[in-house]
Amino acid sequence: MIPARFDYHRAADAAHALALLGELGDEAKLLAGGHSLVPLMKLGLAQPAALVDVGDVRELSYVDERDGVLAVGALTRYRDIERSELARRLVPILAHATGRIGDPQVRARGTIGGSLAHGDPAADLPAVAVATGAVMVVRGPGGERHVPAREFFRGFLETALQPDEMLVEVRFPASGVEPWAYEKFSRRAQDYAIVGVAVVRGPEPGIALVNMDSTPVFCAAASAALGRGEEARAVAELAAADGRPPSDLNGDGAYRRHLARVLTERAVRAAAI
Q: How far is the CB of 107 from other proteins (least distance, A)?
A: 9
Determine the interface stretch with other proteins among 32-40, 161-169, 199-207, 213-221 (rule: CB under 8 A): 32-40
186 part of the interface to other proteins, by CB under 8 A: no
88 part of the interface to other proteins, by CB under 8 A: no
189 part of the interface to other proteins, by CB under 8 A: yes
Binding residue for other proteins (CB under 8 A) from 25, 68, 104, 163? 104
Binding residue for other proteins (CB under 8 A) from 22, 26, 31, 266? 31
Determine the interface stretch with other proteins among 7-15, 202-210, 213-221, 251-259 (rule: CB under 8 A): 7-15
For residue 92, what are the CA distances in angstroms to 89, 95, 105, 204, 271? Answer: 6, 5, 22, 16, 12
Restricted to residues 193-222, the positions that interact with other proteins (CB under 8 A) are: none
249 part of the interface to other proteins, by CB under 8 A: no
Q: How far is the CB of 117 from other proteins (least distance, A)?
A: 17
11 part of the interface to other proteins, by CB under 8 A: no
126 part of the interface to other proteins, by CB under 8 A: no
Binding residue for other proteins (CB under 8 A) from 105, 162, 175, 247? 105
Determine the interface stretch with other proteins among 27-35, 202-210, 252-260, 262-270 (rule: CB under 8 A): 27-35
48 part of the interface to other proteins, by CB under 8 A: no
190 part of the interface to other proteins, by CB under 8 A: yes
Q: How far is the CB of 57 from other proteins (least distance, A)?
A: 12
8 part of the interface to other proteins, by CB under 8 A: yes
- Nearest 5°: phi and psi at 178? -135, 155
- Of 4 and 254, CB closest to other proteins: 4
Q: Are 216 and 210 in contact (CB under 8 A)?
A: yes
Give CA–CA dist 97/90, Å, rounded.
14
Give CA–CA dist 68/42, Å, rounded.
41
